[in-house]
Structure 1
């Protein structure tokens, strides 16, 4: 049985000599460059044939420069790079002008505003929702990066923007704890009922015990998400280099293969590549 081609929908690249990352100083394990060449060497060996760069929460003045940096890398020969998911600030009155510039560049495939480390009420501001609604009909999804206890706020944003495509990062299980697991299970079912939301099988491994995790620790989060969303609304992402906090890219990918061993070739192809091609209009 042949393995599907893989599109990594959640790659982070860090170039500290070109961009500013204010949060890195507080995360010693990640406070280093994460350059394309190091990623590509391992990714190619794993069967990755394409990747989308996910914004890395650079300093706000560097948001557009980050996307340009990734595009420049692609032009210079970083052949796995198929596009960039740009950071954005929907709470800003400058968002419409920013969006107009971004929509003029086909390399920018989508947008994200990290919500797990900002005040909970940010996404409830009228200007935030009004600006996210501007993505309707653009073919550019909005990634949601929230903690399990924030899934109700994510639902509120989704319902306020029914014509926008959303992608729920990391199974919506970022930093999940035993006490939050019941909340996550209930909320993830609610999110999956919204037809304009896809789920990203990514990131979960980074929040496990680096020395003691097993496949059994991933199963309660990955399998229900695939079951709830269905094979047409799930995509795969490495979350490299964040995944290296507890596993290499190779190990995380092997774990995903193990978790989906019972799926058909067609179902696995949709998870690992087909859905990403459709959702972000990726060619090749």
Structure 2
């Protein structure tokens, strides 16, 4: 089994100012060693480490961790996709085979950034190197994401955290329509991850999360969905075990072959692990 979405950091209150005081649980260092026990308990054999900081130094940090920790099977790094010398940077990072794809924190950007021609042109270069692209956005940005993805139909994308639906309010109508549209592109996958952060952290109900899972699986199908934890961010709500058990419980409705896809095989194929 593969966990397709984890972060590691040496906590820096200035760089990591997105981790607010109400998220004090995660205002500390997190390393692969913190995951070993829970991965052993659940027989999870590895993870994909995803950038948490927008700098090329982050790539170096994650590559160093990957050299020291066998559980890191792949890295989703950060690169300036608008850089006039993007080709040069991609050629450089292409020497490091653990880097499988790239991500920019689009949830912090506006529509003009998402649809910027230079940004889209940058993503267009990724397929020449076999790189994937992780889409991180809020539910109210999906309309712009769809317009962007439509311009690069042959690029492998994966939607992080189900596009961050409003789990708490359960106002899922527009999100559902946009997921339906986005999923029509066969090159777009989806990570079942990160939903605890969009729920009422301490008082969510299983049904609220399962309502979101229903939409994702109805549209992407078991062959384009991957399990991810969003550890350690999800610790603001529950221990790792609770999230893994929740997704496992929902997955009981699928065949053994489909569960293998969701918990490992899709990730291996998508990220070329």
TM-score (norm. length: structure 1): 0.89
Kindly report which structure 2 residues correspond to 1:119-158, keeping only aligned pairs within 5 A, or say none: 119-158=110-149
Q: Secondary structure at the match of 1:15?
A: coil
Structure 1 alignment gaps of length 5 or more: 1-5
Segment of structure 1 superposing worse, 202-211 or 45-54: 202-211
CA-to-partner distance for each residue in 1:76-120, whole Å, 9 max, x for gaps?
2x1211121002222332433222212221110110011111222
Q: Secondary structure at the match of 1:101?
A: helix
Kindly state the Cα deviation for residue 26 of structure 1 after the two structures are TM-superposed: 6.2
Distance 2:254 2:23 in 1: 38
Q: Secondary structure at the match of 2:82?
A: coil
176 and 214 in structure 1: CA distance in 2 versus 1, 3 angstrom threshold: closer
Segment of structure 1 superposing worse, 89-98 or 180-189: 89-98
23 and 96 in structure 1: CA distance in 2 versus 1, 3 angstrom threshold: farther
2:29 corresponds to 1:33: yes
Which residue of the partner structure matches residue 87 of structure 2?
A: 96
2:233 corresponds to 1:237: no
Identify which of 22, 26, 51 aligns with 1:55.
51
Distance 1:236 1:269 in 2: 10
Root-mean-square deviation over aligned CA pairs? 1.9
CA-to-partner distance for each residue in 1:128-157, whole Å, 9 max, x for gaps?
011110012432110001111110111011
Kindly state the Cα deviation for residue 175 of structure 1 after the two structures are TM-superposed: 4.7
User: Number of matched residues?
Assistant: 271
2:9 corresponds to 1:14: yes
Distance 1:223 1:106 in 2: 35
Kindly state the Cα deviation for residue 212 of structure 1 after the two structures are TM-superposed: 1.7
Distance 1:217 1:26 in 2: 26
Distance 2:210 2:223 in 1: 19
Kindly state the Cα deviation for residue 260 of structure 1 after the two structures are TM-superposed: 1.0
Identify which of 180, 183, 192 aligns with 1:192.
183
Kindly state the Cα deviation for residue 15 of structure 1 after the two structures are TM-superposed: 1.4
Q: Secondary structure at the match of 2:57?
A: helix
Which residue of the partner structure matches residue 153 of structure 2?
A: 162
Distance 2:38 2:220 in 1: 29
Which residue of the partner structure matches residue 3 of structure 1?
A: none
Q: Secondary structure at the match of 2:212?
A: helix
Segment of structure 1 superposing worse, 63-72 or 31-40: 63-72
2:256 corresponds to 1:261: no
2:195 corresponds to 1:204: yes
Segment of structure 1 superposing worse, 111-120 or 191-200: 111-120
2:63 corresponds to 1:71: yes
101 and 176 in structure 1: CA distance in 2 versus 1, 3 angstrom threshold: farther
TM-score (norm. length: structure 2): 0.93
